[in-house]
Structure formats: C-alpha cells, structure tokens
Amino acid sequence: MQQHPKTAGLPPRGATVPPFYAGLIGEQAAALARAGREIVPMHFGQPTMAAPPGVLAAAERAMRGGPLGYWESPDLRARIAQHYAEAYGVDVAPSRILLTLGASAALVATFAALFAAGDGIAVARPGYPAYRNTISALGRRCIEVDCGPEVGFRLTPSALERLAERPRGVVVASPANPTGAVLSRDELAALTDYCRTRGIHLICDEIYHGITYGTRATSVLEIDSDAIVVNSFSKYFRMPGWRLGWLVVPQELAATLSAYLVNLFLTPPAISQHAALGAFDDPAALEAALQIYTRNRSLLLQALPQLGFRDVVAPDGAFYLYVDAGRWTTDSLGFCRQMLEATGVSAAPGIDFDPQGGRRCVRFSFAVTTPEVERALEALAAWLPRG
Ligand SMILES: Cc1ncc(COP(=O)(O)O)c(C=O)c1O
C-alpha cells in the first residue's frame, strides 16, 4: 500500500498490538512444507478435518443459486435458536441472535459497544491472546487475572474480588483456550451472580461448546437468560475459514449491537450462512471429529509427562494441551521454532497466552489426525533431551 508522503515512515498512532506468535510458527511450518518437509500442524487452534458434508452440499447449492449479496439469514438465526432449545433446553428468541464474522467480530463489537475508552475488562491469564490485544486496540484496558494450574486454570469470583480495581467487564471462555478448562454449572453460576450484583458485564465465550470429554459444558444462558454469549461455527462445526459466528444478547441490546456490527462489518459471508444451515443436522459427522480428539487427548496425556513436560492437566474441553516446558526453556517462541525445525512438529508458544509465565509453556492442538499425533510423539521422543 502506498503511504501519503507526510505519514510515510511514521509509526502507527494506535495501540501496539503484538502478532499471534502461533502465526509466526505457522509461517515457518509453511516454508518447511514448501521445501518438502512433513509437518504435524499442532500450532493453530483449528480442526484440520473438513466441514461436515451437509455444509459443503449447502454451500454448493447456494453458489449455484441466486446472487450472494449482503445478507443476514433469518433462517439461520431461527436454527441457532432451535439449537439452544435442543442442546440446552433454553428459550432464546431469534431476534436476540446476531450473526457475525466469527467470534472475533462478535468480541470487537461487544467491546466497542459496551465499554468506554479506558474501561477495565478482566480476562484469565493464560487466555486467548485476542482478548487482551483487541481490548487494548480499542482503547479499553485489559486486566489480566492469574489463573494458573494451581487453580485448575479457572477464573473465580474470589480472584476478581482480589483485583485492585473493579472491572467494568469480564470475559470468560468455558471450555477455555489454551487450557481446555471447563467451568462447572456452580462455578459459572457464582461468576454470573458476582457480575450481575455488581453491574459488571459478563461476556461468555462458548466457542468450544460441543467439544468436551465427559459432561457437556453449561451455557450461561441456562443460568441467566439475559447473559451475553459469543459463539462460532469455527470449532465444533469445523468451519474456521468460513468466518461465521454469532452473539446472543439481551433483547434491549440487540439493536445497539446490530448497529455496531453492520457499521464495522456489514454482514457475514452469505455463502457461509447458507452453508451453516447444513451444519446442525448431521450429528454423526460432528461426533466423528470428537472421537478422534478423544483418542488424541489420551495419547498426549499419557506421553507428554513421560517426555518431560510438566503441569499436564487433563483438559475437560476444547482440543488443546497447555503444558510447562520449563525443563528445557524460558523462551517458548525460540523453543517452538527449534522444535519445528528439528522434528516437524509445530506448537503454539506460551507467550501468546501469557506474556510472562508463558515463556516456559507451549500449547499443542490435537485437532489433527491420530497418526499425526503418533508421529509427533515419536519425533519429540527422539529429539527432547532426557534426564
Ligand atoms: C476462545 C476463542 N474465542 C474466539 C476465537 C475466534 O474465533 P473465530 O473468530 O474463528 O470464531 C478463538 C479462536 O481460536 C478462540 O480460541
């Protein structure tokens, strides 16, 4: 892009936002793959399995049908409402559901609409990096709350109570990225109650719902029908590149949030909205991936401690293991680069999720095939120094 002569060479004037370090690892992995190396891609948080066949068929029909203009699908809003009734037994009016360009856009619109410049928003550390970075890019302040392995990676009311200031908002993901921690119904109810009685906006990121190992995750909507929920087709429905998600908001906020969304993003891709209607009605196709994740999770839980990783906590949901590699490194980015170069296994550096403690940690995504996990473990066993 050509810069105006008066601004050429000047640094940006907005907040400085770091990259996704996992993305840098992805670039290195892509370069190695181009050079003919076999890579096991465990760095990015996305299913490597294609979207369910019903999604692909619906997309094909849409492509050959009418024009794909700016559009928000009333049928999809109604289908998501039906999903809440079927999966959680809760009644959500379609008018409270707003379609977004992934959970990412839902978060941007929510942070922009509900908070003013300088407002503090609390998030768990380790946590999804874009919470911290989006909050600061928008001029809000991110308040990171330590939620390490000693508290099962859980954000609790008592941790919020210990903060030096009361946040205006709290973002919580359950299941969480990068730890897979799932809040029990009681834990979620306690957090909801804490926030509601103090006038704090609680934003629940339910993007990993559907991907759990044991009991299903509770939706905050089962506890508080007026909660704010962020969700997406990127994970359970295996449509990350289709850029489609949704928000559930209280009725009185729907028009405001919708105005933000349309101004910032117009509408999500029309083809993805058509396609997503094919995502709900083939539970076997969705479950197929879960069976693979379950096997992969067991393999890694067994092998990673033997290889010398510490704090290997069994994730109750999502498809990640966030583990301590402090035996070998305090520079997780350098470690991931070397590991990739030596073994072909790519993982996300912990500094994405926790700029300090994450120097010792790495996150493995196990949304890959089981033979790939087996290959990765073999290569790591041959490379990692023992003793
Ligand atoms: C916790 C969490 N929230 C939100 C997102 C954004 O997802 P998307 O914009 O693809 O829906 C991600 C992506 O990895 C995530 O892990």
Count of all residues that appear for the chain in the document: 387
Q: 312 with 206, same domain? A: no
Q: Are 237 and 59 a contacting pair, CB within 8 Å? A: no
- Three-point CA angle 24, 30, 35, nearest 5°: 135
CATH of the domain at 367: 3.90.1150.10
Beta bridge partners of 146: 125
Distance from Cα 124 to the centre of ligand 1, integer Å: 15
Give pLDDT tens digits along the chain (387 positions). 455 656 667 877 777 889 999 999 999 999 999 999 999 999 999 999 999 999 999 999 999 998 899 999 999 999 999 999 999 999 999 999 999 999 999 999 999 999 999 999 999 999 999 999 999 999 999 999 999 998 999 999 999 999 999 999 999 999 999 999 999 999 999 999 999 999 999 999 999 999 999 989 999 999 999 899 999 999 999 999 999 999 999 999 999 999 999 999 999 999 999 999 999 988 999 999 999 999 999 999 999 999 999 999 999 999 999 999 999 999 999 999 999 999 999 999 999 999 999 999 999 999 999 999 999 999 999 999 875
Asked whether 177 lines ligand 1 (CB < 6 A), one says: yes
β-pair type (201-205, 228-232): parallel
Asked whether 172 lines ligand 1 (CB < 6 A), one says: no
Distance from Cα 131 to the centre of ligand 1, integer Å: 10
The DSSP call for residue 316 is S
User: Residue 182's closest CA among 151, 150, 153?
Assistant: 153
CA distances from 46 to 122, 126, 233, 351, 364 (A): 25, 19, 11, 19, 11
Distance from Cα 354 to the centre of ligand 1, integer Å: 17
Asked whether 110 lines ligand 1 (CB < 6 A), one says: no
Asked whether 240 lines ligand 1 (CB < 6 A), one says: yes
Q: Cα 92 from chain centroid?
A: 23
Asked whether 205 lines ligand 1 (CB < 6 A), one says: yes
Q: 246 with 308, same domain? A: no
CATH of the domain at 95: 3.40.640.10
Q: SS3 of 79, please?
A: helix
- For residue 256, what are its two tokens? 């405001």
In a domain, 34, yes or no: yes
Q: 213 with 307, same domain? A: no
In a domain, 101, yes or no: yes
Calculate Rg over the CA atoms of the chain. Answer: 21
Q: Are 307 and 353 a contacting pair, CB within 8 Å? A: no
- The closest-lying atom of ligand 1 relative to the alpha carbon of residue 101 is 9
Distance from Cα 318 to the centre of ligand 1, integer Å: 11
DSSP string, 13-68: SS------HHHHHHHHHHHHHHTT---EEESSSS--SPPPHHHHHHHHHHHHSS--
- Buried b / exposed e across 250-284, counting CB within 10 Å, b at 16+? eeebbeebbebbeeebebbebbbbbbbbbbbeeee
The pLDDT, as a whole number, for residue 280 is 93
Q: 100 with 219, same domain? A: yes
The domain total for the chain is: 2
Protein residue closest via CA to atom 13 of ligand 1: 45
Asked whether 133 lines ligand 1 (CB < 6 A), one says: no
Asked whether 173 lines ligand 1 (CB < 6 A), one says: yes
Q: 260 with 378, same domain? A: no
Q: Are 46 and 23 a contacting pair, CB within 8 Å? A: no
> Is-cis flag, bond preceding 5, omega within 30?
no
The pLDDT, as a whole number, for residue 215 is 87
In a domain, 59, yes or no: no
Q: 227 with 367, same domain? A: no
Distance from Cα 10 to the centre of ligand 1, integer Å: 32
Q: Are 126 and 153 a contacting pair, CB within 8 Å? A: yes
- What angle do the packed helices 102-114 and 251-265 form, to 10 degrees? 110
In a domain, 63, yes or no: no
In a domain, 60, yes or no: no
Pocket test for ligand 1, best of 135, 183, 232 (most atoms within 8 A of CB): 232
Distance from Cα 259 to the centre of ligand 1, integer Å: 22
Asked whether 352 lines ligand 1 (CB < 6 A), one says: no
In a domain, 354, yes or no: yes
The residue from 225, 249, 276 where one domain ends is 276
Asked whether 181 lines ligand 1 (CB < 6 A), one says: no
The residue from 251, 276, 301 where one domain ends is 276
Counting Cβ atoms within 10 Å, is residue 70 exposed (0-12), middle (13-18) or buried (19+)?
exposed
Distance from Cα 35 to the centre of ligand 1, integer Å: 30
Q: 327 with 360, same domain? A: yes
Q: 141 with 246, same domain? A: yes
Pocket test for ligand 1, best of 21, 203, 207 (most atoms within 8 A of CB): 207
Which stretches does DSSP call E strand in the chain?
40-42, 97-100, 120-125, 141-146, 169-173, 201-205, 228-232, 245-248, 320-324, 345-349, 361-365
Asked whether 180 lines ligand 1 (CB < 6 A), one says: no
Q: 301 with 203, same domain? A: no
Domain of 298, in residue numbers: 21-50+283-383
Asked whether 106 lines ligand 1 (CB < 6 A), one says: no
- The closest-lying atom of ligand 1 relative to the alpha carbon of residue 232 is 11
In a domain, 61, yes or no: no
Q: 92 with 164, same domain? A: yes
Q: 130 with 253, same domain? A: yes
Q: 101 with 239, same domain? A: yes
Asked whether 219 lines ligand 1 (CB < 6 A), one says: no
In a domain, 239, yes or no: yes
Distance from Cα 101 to the centre of ligand 1, integer Å: 11
Residue 225 to residue 195: CA distance in whole angstroms: 14
- The closest-lying atom of ligand 1 relative to the alpha carbon of residue 46 is 14
The pLDDT, as a whole number, for residue 1 is 45
Beta bridge partners of 348: 363
The residue from 276, 306, 340 where one domain ends is 276
Q: What is the largest CA-CA distance in the chain?
A: 64
The pLDDT, as a whole number, for residue 134 is 97
- The closest-lying atom of ligand 1 relative to the alpha carbon of residue 245 is 11
